[in-house]
Amino acid sequence: MPTYEQRLITSLRRFLLAQDPHIGEGDRHITIKDVYLQPESDEELVVITFQEKKRPDCLFGFCTTAYEDLTQRGTLDNPDAWQHDPALVWADMIVAQFTEHIVAANMGLPKDCRSDTITWITSLTPLNSQQPPLRPTHVVTNFLLRADEKEERILIVQRSQKVGSYHGRWAGISGFVEPDVTPDEQAYTEIREETGLQHDQVRMLRRGEVVEYSDAELGRHFYIHPFLFAVLTPERVQTDWEAVNMRWIAPTDLHSYETVPKLQEVYDAAIHGEILA
């Protein structure tokens, strides 16, 4: 029986190479070149290499852990012990992470690259490789407000291990601003995808000033667009795979949670932002 690692790489190659190795359009599209495992310290890394059409001499790389949960490593070689093969599940998540990074960069890869080595697009790089510069990354953070009870409360969600960063931290409803999409449009998209609420079930109340944050470990300089929404049907909220818990809390209690960076500042920006409704 193939090992977990063999099944993982086979699944990734099927997803990324066998079907369609191209992402994007025109001069900015990329072509996947290879997918493989690279050992590093006490775990292994999945490496995806690719080229950009307008710079075919440059080889770019993305890498992430081969394991969703290292504590389960010893049981992963037997897929029959699981309801769903963990290699297939994690391969699907890696593809989502990879696509998320490419979208977040707005298909704009690092300007400096060399033909004799891999230029990495994430901070999680193999040993002895050069740290990439911080990349501008625009994200939205939505605070959903319910006023159907005695005291107003906002929704926060706890990030799962399946998202790309800040695992276990509490956050608003957030996500990368995709290419050719305004922050306002992205705000509604994230709410729909992460809570199941449709456009007519929420109302945008305020748009806050952008909050900036640099994370050297992630290799990103974040531009966070804050929004405050009224929720018309709070009982309909259903979170997706990006969250493991959700809570409606008093805004004054936000400080007592271990949150993603700058969440309190982002909330303050949202509630003092431009009035829209």
Q: Output the domain CATH number for residue 157.
A: 3.90.79.10
Q: Is position 125 within any domain?
A: no
Place of tokens 């790489």: 9
Residue 174 class from Cβ within 10 Å (0-12 exposed, 13-18 middle, 19+ buried)?
buried
Q: Does residue 110 sit in the same domain as residue 35? A: yes
> Does the structure show a pLDDT above 50 at 127?
no
The full DSSP string for 31-58 is EEEEEEEEEETTEEEEEEEEEETTEEEE
Is residue 223 predicted with pLDDT exceeding 60?
yes
Tell me: do 264 and 149 sit in the same domain: yes
Assess whether 193 and 227 both reside in one domain.
yes
φ and ψ at 248, to 5 degrees?
A: -95, 115
User: Do 145 and 263 fall within a single domain?
Assistant: yes
The total of structural domains in the chain comes to 2
Write out the E strands in the chain: 22-23, 30-40, 43-52, 55-65, 118-120, 135-146, 153-159, 170-171, 173-176, 202-207, 211-215, 220-231, 243-249, 274-275
- The rounded distance, in Å, linking the Cα atoms of 75 and 21 is 31
- For the cut 70, the answer to whether the pLDDT of residue 82 exceeds it is no
Q: Domain boundary residue among 60, 86, 120?
A: 120
Q: Is pLDDT above 80 for 97?
A: no
Same domain, 104 and 145: no
Quote the pLDDT of residue 68: 61
Whether residue 189 sits in one domain with residue 67: no
127 domain residue, yes or no:
no
Q: Look at residue 96 in the predicted model and tell me its pLDDT.
A: 79
Q: Which two tokens stand for residue 49?
A: 């290499």
Is residue 130 one of the residues assigned to a domain? no
Q: Is residue 126 part of a domain?
A: no
- 57: exposed, middle or buried (Cβ count in 10 Å: 0-12, 13-18, 19+): exposed
Q: Look up the domain containing 188 and give its range.
A: 135-275
The DSSP bridge partners found for residue 27 are none
Contacts of 201 (CB under 8 A, 6+ apart): 231, 232, 233, 236
For the record, the structure tokens of 104 come out as 């977040």
In a domain, 128, yes or no: no
Whole-structure pTM value: 0.56
Angle at 145 between CA 141 and CA 151, to 5 degrees: 140
More confident residue, 225 or 74: 225
Confidence of residue 232 (pLDDT cuts 50, 70, 90): very high
CA gap 15, 241 in Å, rounded? 20
Q: Supply the pLDDT for residue 230.
A: 96
pLDDT in tens, 130-145: 445 677 889 999 999 9
Is residue 80 a part of any domain in this protein?
A: yes
Domain-located, residue 167: yes
Residues 20 and 72 in one domain: yes
Residue 216 lies in a domain: yes
Cα torsion through 105, 266, 96, 166, rounded to 10: 110
Would you say residue 25 has pLDDT above 70? Answer: no
User: What value does the mean pLDDT take over residues 25-31?
Assistant: 68
Please tell me whether residues 100 and 158 are part of one structural domain: no
Query: What pLDDT does 84 receive?
Result: 67
